[in-house]
Amino acid sequence: MQRAPYQTKQKAAILECLYQNNEAHFTIPQIAEQLKAAGTAVSTPTIYRYLDTLVAEGKVRKYVLDGNAGSCYQYNSESENEELFHFRCEKCGRLLHFQSEELQQLNARMKQCKSGKIYLEQTVFYGICENCEE
Ligand SMILES: [Zn+2]
Ligand SMILES: [Zn+2]
């Protein structure tokens, strides 16, 4: 099937946006914002569709978080990026990322006490962000 050129351009713009920021995770609204700022406005359903394709092609990693938090997307680079953890502000709804050596050590400790394994990439911490706390 022949695809209209603008569709390919939109898909390329989504991949480019994730590639340029390969250290970061993005939610769908964040990607929409980035694309708009770069001059390629793409509708949310279209972004969803192309991301599904990019995930299926192995070019993008998808972090499926719990129902309320939505999903996050990241460029699938060869070198493993350091694990980022998710924090959801219950007041403004923003999904934030943070790094934590302690959390990375958590599964090693869980293993020592034979407690099992936590899926940290799917775990969301809920609380209140710095902006909302003021
Ligand atoms: Zn994320
Ligand atoms: Zn907040």
Q: What is the mean pLDDT of residues 109-126?
A: 89
Q: What is the mean pLDDT of residues 89-116?
A: 89
Query: Is the domain of 34 the same as that of 89?
Result: no
Residues 6+ apart with CB under 8 A from 41: 35
Angle value at C-alpha 134, between 128 and 99, nearest 5 degrees: 45
Q: Which position has the token pair 């993005």?
A: 26
Q: What is the mean pLDDT of residues 84-89?
A: 89
Other Cβ atoms less than 10 A from the Cβ of 103: the count is: 15
Ligand 2 centroid, distance to 81 Cα (angstroms): 26
Residues 6+ apart with CB under 8 A from 18: 26, 31, 54, 60, 73, 74, 75
Ligand 1 centroid, distance to 26 Cα (angstroms): 6
Query: Is the domain of 70 the same as that of 8?
Result: yes
Ligand 1 centroid, distance to 69 Cα (angstroms): 10
Which CATH number belongs to the domain containing residue 63 in this structure?
A: 1.10.10.10
pLDDT for the residue 59: 92
Ligand 2 centroid, distance to 131 Cα (angstroms): 6
Query: Is the domain of 2 the same as that of 45?
Result: yes
- Domain enclosing residue 88, as ranges: 82-134
What pTM value is reported for the model?
Answer: 0.75
What does the pLDDT look like over 61-81, one tens digit per residue?
999 887 767 789 999 887 655
pLDDT for the residue 79: 60
pLDDT for the residue 2: 56
Ligand 2 centroid, distance to 101 Cα (angstroms): 24
Query: Is the domain of 4 the same as that of 52?
Result: yes
Q: What is the mean pLDDT of residues 111-121?
A: 89
What's the structural domain count of the chain?
Answer: 2
What does the pLDDT look like over 2-14, one tens digit per residue?
556 667 889 999 9
Question: Mean of the per-residue pLDDT values for the chain?
Answer: 87
Query: Is the domain of 53 the same as that of 21?
Result: yes
- Is the pLDDT confidence value at 104 over 60? yes
Ligand 2 centroid, distance to 93 Cα (angstroms): 6
Q: What is the mean pLDDT of residues 96-102?
A: 88
